[in-house]
Amino acid sequence: MTIKLHCFGESGHSYKVALSLAFNNLDWEPVGIDFFRGGSRTDAYRSDLNEMGEAPVFIEGDLKLTQSGVILDYLSEKTGRFGGSDPDERREVLRWVLWDNHKMSAQAGVLRFLANFLTEEKRSAEVIAFLTGRMKSALSVLETHLNGRDWIVGQGITNADLSCCSYLFYNEPFGFDRSAYACIDRWLARIAEQPGWKHPYDLMPRAFPGAA
């Protein structure tokens, strides 16, 4: 049964799930969302796919899941991979997934959107500056944690890595310079060496009008 992931290439939250699907070599296909033209905010999308109007949406037969952290946890149940090797490690993985969704992706996603996908007259310099400060604070936490570690939790890649890395692989400028974070840079390189890794725009269709 082919898994369908309703997603779009610019979505870091979608990329987290797409990476897990790719790393697990599961049978899946991306279903593009016309996000920038309001595709996830239509009545049909909210009633049929996700009442929250968000991406991604994971569908496997009769099972429908939303929220990237929930989907990652389900895929770990399904495959036995990336969820942590014991209860203590599982809780630590969950701690970092929750931290990422609140502290890292929450800042990076909005910041990247404002800086790259809004017309210049709609961008708020004050909001961008505020979010940049918040993101740099989160990056500092991650950089310190990765000092002396290959992975965020334990001895191998987990959902903590898949969640925290997602927005950091995008090339659009949004205040993140890999060269300024040596530990994060090495960690991202290790993730990109994993079998099945691809850039988000190679795993999912882009939605931004005019994008290649």
Tokens of 166: 């997602």
24-74 tens-digit pLDDT: 999 999 999 999 999 999 999 999 999 999 999 999 999 999 999 999 999
Q: Quickly state the pLDDT bin for 144 (edges 50, 70, 90).
A: very high
Q: How confident is the model at residue 212 (pLDDT cuts 50, 70, 90)?
A: low
List residues bridging with 64 in a β-sheet: 59
Q: What's the mean pLDDT when you consider all of the chain?
A: 96
What's this model's pTM, rounded to 2 decimal places? Answer: 0.95
If asked whether residues 108 and 57 sit together in one domain, one would say no
Which of 20, 50, 45 is CA-nearest to residue 34?
45
Domain total for the chain?
A: 2
Task: Please check whether residue 200 lies inside any domain of the structure.
Answer: no
Nearest-angstrom CA–CA distance, 183 and 147: 6
- Domain end: 81, 108, 139, which one? 81
Q: Are residues 37 and 95 in the same domain?
A: no
Indicate if 77 and 92 belong to the same structural domain. no
- Same domain for 118 and 188, yes or no, is yes
Q: Which residues of 160-199 are buried (b: 16+ CB within 10 A; e: fewer)?
A: bbbbbbbbbbbeeebbbeeeebebbeebbeebeeeeeeee
- For residue 120, pLDDT over 90 is answered with no
- Domain end call among 62, 81, 100: 81
- Residues 35, 14: Cα–Cα separation, whole Å: 12
Domain residues for 26? 3-81
Q: Provide the pLDDT for residue 190.
A: 98
Looking at the fold, whether 188 and 127 belong to one and the same domain comes out as: yes
